[in-house]
Amino acid sequence: MAPESNETTSLLAVKSTAAYRVYPQRFYILFVFSFLSFNQCIMWLTFSPIARSTETYYNVTEATVDLLLNWGPIIFIPCLPLTSILLNQANGLRYCVLLLAIADFFGALSRILPSIIFSSSHPNFSSFALPFIHVGQILNAACGPLVMAPVSQLSCLWFAPHERTRATTVAIFANYLGSGVGFAISPLIVSEPEYVPRLLYIHFGLAFAACVFSLVYFPAQPPTAPSAAAELLVQNPTSGETSHNWRTFLRDIWKCLTTPSFVLLSTAGGLLYGTFGAWTGLYDVLLEPEHYTEGQAGWFGFGSTIAAIIGGLGLGHLADTRRFQHSLKILILISLIGCLLAIVWFELCVRSLFYDKHILSSTVVTIGLSTGLAGLFSGAASPLIYEALAEIMYPLPESLSASILVQWINVVTLVFLFVAPNREKLVNFLVLVVCTVCIVIILVTRFTYRRRDEDERKRLEKERNQIIGENNVNAINSQGYDEISD
């Protein structure tokens, strides 16, 4: 009777277990990662919204302020491959998050040290402070890949398939929110040059809080995987041997770059968001001939960022519903067409490469609506592109497809940052051309849904096995009852 009893107990355990399970702590994990991502972007953008005050306080030129911002894409490009390799180690996501939290904390600390040690009126203050400021910005820039590459992998590892797009959206747009808040709030805090340290202390406080959250609790993975794709991530980390990691990484990169659908979609995403990011950064220059102030341009940028977050969350929720889980291509196309129309509207309201007077009425309402709609539709497509790339390249790690996409974005952004000075009208025209080209590229791209199809197949298989187990339990219980009756 003992063997039968053990078998019955094990089968009853199977009966009470769902095919896959998600855990409440997934929301804490997403919050901590999003908080870190928000901090990384708001620290990266520290000095650009307060450029004039920065130049006065540190006695530096505009070129130095620009370099503090440009450290972002400059350092991002060489650091990204290292991030991708680290992510695909055992417990890689945890290591990336802890590294991100600690590096950003020390970056924030480096920037406030000069103001603690020296008075700004000291004759050597500028020469002493600048190296610390640059070190802080470089450390923060090295954190860029750590917040952009893991977004798809985090959502896959912790969230159910019908939640993944929304989780990816939140992880992506936390970084965008840092940019929007930085543009809107920083000038209010630094109303005078001597208030620059106030902003740095606020950033240090945020970095300290995020570091504490990360160190207190950030597990490597959930107790059990929420999907078949997450099982693959948990069960198949790369070997600990460095040479093997590099060979695997390069082999996977080659596989991505020889997959036509991936090349087309990642190129479209890189071109669009690299160009779009450079374009939105030029609002103040583009709108100056129309007599808008830097403050108004900053609020247009903030409104565009908030609209992007709303668009991403709205379309992400729609893409997670069963009816639209295999409709990423049409949703991306609709979003990009809407973005193109909004950009056309904006360009007709300002002076362009081809005409020196705007064609449509240029008011706060028309500029605000056109930039807001451009942000709304571009933001709506962004997380869908991340998820579509992960679907196309499954079973390769989600972090790899995201890494290649953000690398394209940063390369394009860096190119445009060098092209942009005194060529704002050209950039204004190029964003229109790029958006049109991206729509054509996506039209000819073949979308596949390997990850979602495999998740569904494994889920049905587990449920079928559980039903078989339940039937076996009933049969054993029935047999035992008959023996007792006899």
Each residue of 287-301: pLDDT tens digit? 877 888 767 777 888
- Taking the alpha carbons of 223, 227, 228, 229 in that order, is the dihedral positive or negative? negative
| Range from 39-48, 287-296, 374-383 carrying the lowest mean pLDDT | 287-296
Give the confidence band of 4 by pLDDT, cuts at 50, 70, 90. Answer: very low
Distance CA(242)–CA(396), nearest Å, equals 19
| Range from 47-51, 431-435, 444-448 carrying the lowest mean pLDDT | 47-51
Do the domains 24-221 and 248-469 sit in the same CATH topology, yes or no? yes
pLDDT at position 11, please? 36
CATH of 24-221, one of 1.10.275.10, 2.40.30.260, 3.55.40.20, 1.20.1250.20: 1.20.1250.20
Cβ neighbors of 9 (< 8 A, separation 6 or more) are none
| Better pLDDT: 377 or 411 | 377
Give the confidence band of 9 by pLDDT, cuts at 50, 70, 90. Answer: very low
| Better pLDDT: 119 or 333 | 333
Q: Is 323 helix (H, G, I), strand (E, B) or coil?
A: helix
pTM of the model: 0.80
Distance CA(145)–CA(174), nearest Å, equals 14
% helix, strand, coil for the chain, step of 5: 80, 0, 20
Distance CA(88)–CA(77), nearest Å, equals 18
Distance CA(143)–CA(408), nearest Å, equals 17
CATH of 248-469, one of 1.10.1200.10, 1.20.1250.20, 3.40.50.20, 1.10.600.10: 1.20.1250.20
In the chain, domain spans: 24-221, 248-469
Q: What is the mean pLDDT of the chain?
A: 84
Give the confidence band of 465 by pLDDT, cuts at 50, 70, 90. Answer: confident
Q: If 0-12 CB within 10 Å is exposed, 13-18 middle and 19+ buried, where does residue 240 land? A: exposed
Closest residue by Cα to residue 342 from 319, 318, 311, 383 = 311
